[in-house]
Amino acid sequence: MSIQDLTRREFKILLRYSGPVVLTYILQNSLQLASLVSLGHLGSIELAASSLASMFAAVTCWSVSLGTATALDTLCSQSYTSHHPHTLGLHLQRAILILMLLFVPIAAIWLSSEQIFALLGQEPALAEHAAIFLRGLLPGAPAFLIFECAKKFLQAQGNMHASTYVLLIASPINVVLNYVLVWNPYIGMGYIGAPIATSISYWNMLILLILYIRFVDGYQGWGGWTRECLTGWREFLKLALPGVMMVCTEWWAFEVMSLAASYLGTIALAAQSVVVQTSGLLYTIPFGISIAASNRVGNLIGMGDARSAKVASRVSIALAIIFGMTNSLMLILFKERWGRLFSEDAEVIQTVAMVLPLVALYQISDGLAGVGGGVLRGVGLQHLGAYLNLVAYYLVAFPLGYFFAFKLQWGLKGLWSALCVALWMVGLGELWVIFKTNWPAEVRKCKARNDLLAKRTLESEAEAVQTLLDADMNNEDDERSLVEYRV
């Protein structure tokens, strides 16, 4: 097949994969968006506190846990199209067990969040409200983490639309829950109702996805619970830990900037929450492409098709640039009106309008960084993305952000200027790594890893069978001895 034919094929496949994923993440972000809209009309303190709590949850839980789950982007996608697809469910089981163990100390941190906020110098009212939000969100967190793992399990099998169907049901229910639990005059609970509504929605999402896997599609990759999931953690963590570093270095950088915004005042923090949610909403497009690229590239590497994997990676980069330009245009057109959706405070609206052009400036680089990261996860090169993030955000963006925002007195505009610089560094750096990747070598590494995992699984199964046979033989010997004794 010619390069032109391959390019057209991968373009169609990536678009077909990306569409449902983009819609899924838009709907998923609407859960948090519904909370922001509900709380924003309660007052600036409630909006600022929910932003602070969301930042804390992202730093302490979502980033670490979802970074761990990125190992599934490599392992599941490559296993599904290899000669050992039966390891797919095994990887999912390991991920769930590891994440549930991680969540135990995370829950303890959330329950102590008010004291932590006080140590960080936050205002008492802001710290109290943020801690209340986290307590309401705590019961739903495990469901969200397992949902993310199950979603990756299905996406590796080429099923991108299952989570979309789930969110099409759960997202409207979440809007109703937010109204009822926050604003309803009879059973509404006010501020605490928003995170409780989100927790209920997380459980709805998980239950619906499990029902889909069991009765519609995806169960063929499960294989049932096995004791083998208690082994092989070392190989899993070799990919998970760089994934944590890759996700956390970027995610934490944005959250640290949000924390810095809190020292600029309540208005700046409220505006920051709007800008962060807007940026996250627009990022669903390149993020959806990155998920599609991760699974497509991983599938092709698992098949041993290095040439197609290379073409798919480059097509995904082209899509990132196209949609990045579209996002930039939308932000510039609606910058004056966007803030009114979240707040009635004129200062917040004005601050949002001032910062959005900077967000528009980095949309192409944000797309390159997101999609490039997806390709690296599909290949299994998470560690390179982690190093790029570490340099760009922590050695460049943080010093620049402090200088712009506090020394030059640019305020919120200074923080986002620094992030813009970092995103261009990461995007161009990942682009360079992808174009320099040795694709045949990555195919050989994938085959060696899958063969090793399959060999260990088969050895474990053989040991289990032998144990059962030995037990049967022992039972027969015991019965024979009993007969002889009675005689």
Q: What b/e readout covers 354-392, taking b as 16+ CB neighbours within 10 angstroms?
A: bbbebbbbbbbbbbbbbbbbbbbbbbbbbbbbbbbbbbb
How far, in Å, are 57, 76, 258, 273, 420 from residue 118 at the CA level? 16, 42, 17, 20, 30
Give the DSSP letter string of 252-306.
HHHHHHHHHHHTT-HHHHHHHHHHHHHHHHHHHHHHHHHHHHHHHHHHHHHHT-H
Instruction: Tell me the pLDDT of the chain (487 aa) as tens digits.
Output: 788 888 899 999 998 988 888 888 888 878 877 887 777 777 778 888 887 888 889 889 998 999 999 999 888 888 888 766 677 888 999 999 999 999 999 999 999 999 999 888 888 888 998 999 999 999 999 999 999 999 999 998 889 899 999 999 999 999 999 889 988 888 878 888 989 999 999 999 999 999 999 999 888 888 788 888 888 888 889 889 998 998 888 888 877 887 788 777 778 877 877 888 788 778 888 888 999 999 999 999 988 888 999 999 999 999 999 999 988 888 888 888 788 877 777 888 888 888 888 888 888 888 899 999 999 999 988 889 889 999 999 999 999 998 998 888 888 888 888 988 998 999 999 999 999 999 999 888 888 877 776 666 655 555 545 554 555 555 555 444 434 433 3
Torsion of CA 82, 86, 89, 93, to 10 degrees: -100
In single-letter form, the type of residue at position 201 comes to S
- The label of the residue with tokens 């930039």 reads 328
Beta-carbon-side half-sphere exposure of residue 80 (alpha carbons within 13 Å)? 26
Closest CA to 169 of 140, 212, 138: 212
- Residue 473: its pLDDT value, please? 53
Other C-beta atoms within 10 Å of 240: how many? 24
Distance CA 133, CA 114 (A): 11
- Residue 144: its pLDDT value, please? 95
Segment (H or E) for 428 = helix 412-436
Sequence-separated (6 or more) residues with CB below 8 Å from residue 228: 90, 457, 460, 461
